[in-house]
Amino acid sequence: MQREPRLAGKVAIVTGSSRGLGLYCALAYAQEGAKVVVVGRNARETNLHMPGNVYLTAEAIKELTGSPALPIICDVTDLGSVDSMVRKVLDRCGRIDLLLNNAAYVMPEGEAITEVPLRLFEQMLQVNVLGAFSVLRAVLPAMQAQGCGNIINVSGRSRTRGSPLEATKMAIEALTIGFADELRSQGVAVNCLRPVGFIDTPGVLLNSDVGPSDLTPPDSYVEATILMAMQTAGTYTGQVKTDAEVIRDLSGHTTLRRYEAMNPPAWRDSLVAAVVGARHLERQWANQDCSFAGNETGQQDSRSGNLDQFNREAK
pLDDT in tens, 40-96: 997 766 555 556 799 999 999 999 999 999 999 999 999 999 999 999 999 999 999
Question: Is 3's pLDDT higher than 80?
Answer: yes
The pLDDT of residue 276 is 57
Are 282 and 301 contacting, i.e. CB atoms less than 8 angstroms apart?
A: no
Q: Is 280 helix (H, G, I), strand (E, B) or coil?
A: helix
The pLDDT of residue 45 is 60
Topology annotation, domain 11-249: Rossmann fold (3.40.50)
What count of Cα atoms within 13 Å lies in the side-chain half-sphere of residue 65? 22
The pLDDT of residue 1 is 62
Rounded to whole angstroms, the Cα distance separating 123 from 112 reads 17
The pLDDT of residue 210 is 55
Instruction: Quote the pTM value.
Output: 0.84
Question: Is 182's pLDDT higher than 60?
Answer: yes
Q: Where are the domains of the chain?
A: 11-249
Question: Is 304's pLDDT higher than 50?
Answer: no
The pLDDT of residue 277 is 53
User: Rounded to an integer, what is the distance from CA 67 to the centroid of its chain?
Assistant: 24
pLDDT in tens, 190-228: 999 999 977 765 555 555 565 565 677 899 999 999 999
pLDDT in tens, 226-271: 999 999 999 999 999 999 999 999 999 999 999 999 998 889 999 9
The pLDDT of residue 310 is 47
Exposure pattern of 115-144 as b/e (b: 16+ CB <10 Å)? Answer: ebeeebbebbbbbbbebbbbbbebbbebbe
Residue 112: pLDDT band (50, 70, 90) is confident
pLDDT in tens, 136-165: 999 999 999 999 999 999 998 776 788 888
The pLDDT of residue 42 is 77
